[in-house]
């Protein structure tokens, strides 16, 4: 059995299928880890959702910010953006079953020495603590109060972790950290303005994974979200968003031996 971790797909179905063929993926024997952002901006989000869902337990998906955006739009709590390509999903006859399946995906997956999350973990969170916090969000998404949770999810505040946070503020911070963070301060303050590569952040901010003594260094964090960072592998980090949507590549790494597989974008979907 092999486990292949794959970066942000964002509706790039052709590249996704080609990458699965390249690694000779066998759902009866192998597993996929997908770092989130299955959908949006690319041309074929519906096909991606249907394929991944059809793989059943062979695919483990963590939620990304675009996946949560889809859930908010479908529930009527967000307006669609100009680069939104979600109409085929929203108009599909199997829309509700796909959305229910997506809402049931975890925010964080921990297995052996790996922890998979879409964006990252704030420096104060150990992997064990983060797993407990993710469970709080997952319960809100899967429960009877899902619409209430989605209605109040958008926003950038609070921007600093405090274990005393409660209610929607607590859940919003957890989601923002795990699905939107790139840079933060050493004390866990999030910044959503800077989106460029490391070294471009305002003074006092660091890439979340470079904060000294962050509590999650016990595991290798498998993540995506940051196309300007690109593919990056170092001690404790495996970052997989290599910008397929922007004309880059879709990247897979076989976790057992670290072998890298790449599929070039068919075309540039969006201007940077």
- pLDDT by residue (tens digit) across 116-170? 999 999 999 999 999 999 999 999 999 999 999 999 999 999 999 999 999 999 9
The reported pLDDT for the residue numbered 233 is 98
Quote the CA–CA distance of 33 and 13 in Å, as a whole number. Answer: 16
Residue 272 lies in a domain: no
Quote the CA–CA distance of 213 and 191 in Å, as a whole number. Answer: 20
pLDDT at 272 over 50: no
Residue 48 lies in a domain: yes
Helix (H) or strand (E) segment spanning residue 96: helix 95-103
Residue 270 lies in a domain: no
Tell me the CATH number at 87: 3.60.21.10
Q: What is the pTM of this model?
A: 0.96
- pLDDT by residue (tens digit) across 168-203? 999 999 999 999 999 999 999 999 999 999 989 889
The reported pLDDT for the residue numbered 268 is 65
The number of distinct structural domains making up the chain is 1
Its domain, for residue 157, covers: 3-264
Distances (CA, A) of 217 to 4, 63, 101, 213: 22, 22, 31, 8
Closest CA to 35 of 165, 179, 209: 179
Helix (H) or strand (E) segment spanning residue 19: helix 13-22
Residue 271 lies in a domain: no
The reported pLDDT for the residue numbered 81 is 85
Q: Work out the average pLDDT over 239-255.
A: 97
pLDDT at 250 over 50: yes
Residue 269 lies in a domain: no
The reported pLDDT for the residue numbered 199 is 87
């Amino acid at each position: 059995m092999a486990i292949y971790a794959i970066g942000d797909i964002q509706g790039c179905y052709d590249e996704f299928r080609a990458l699965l063929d390249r690694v000779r993926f066998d759902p009866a024997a192998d597993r996929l880890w997908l770092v989130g952002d299955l959908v949006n901006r690319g041309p074929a989000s519906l096909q991606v959702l249907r394929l991944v869902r059809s793989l059943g337990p062979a695919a483990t998906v963590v939620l990304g910010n675009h996946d949560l955006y889809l859930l908010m739009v479908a529930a009527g709590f967000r307006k669609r953006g100009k680069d939104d390509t979600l109409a085929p999903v929203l108009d599909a006859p199997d829309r509700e079953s796909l959305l229910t399946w997506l809402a049931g995906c975890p925010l964080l997956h921990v297995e052996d020495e790996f922890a998979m999350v879409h964006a990252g973990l704030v420096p104060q969170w150990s992997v064990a603590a983060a797993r407990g916090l993710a469970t709080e969000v997952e319960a809100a998404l899967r429960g009877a109060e899902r619409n209430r949770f989605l209605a109040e999810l958008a926003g950038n505040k609070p921007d600093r972790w405090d274990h005393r946070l409660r209610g929607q503020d607590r859940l919003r911070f957890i989601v923002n950290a795990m699905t939107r963070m790139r840079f933060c301060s050493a004390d866990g303050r999030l910044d959503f303005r800077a989106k460029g590569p490391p070294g471009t952040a305002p003074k006092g901010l660091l890439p979340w994974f470079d904060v000294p003594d962050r509590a999650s260094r016990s595991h290798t964090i498998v993540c995506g979200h940051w196309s300007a960072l690109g593919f990056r592998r170092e001690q404790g980090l495996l970052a997989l968003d290599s910008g397929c949507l922007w004309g880059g590549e879709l990247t897979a790494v076989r976790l057992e031996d670290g072998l890298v597989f790449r599929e070039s974008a068919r075309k540039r979907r969006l201007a940077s």
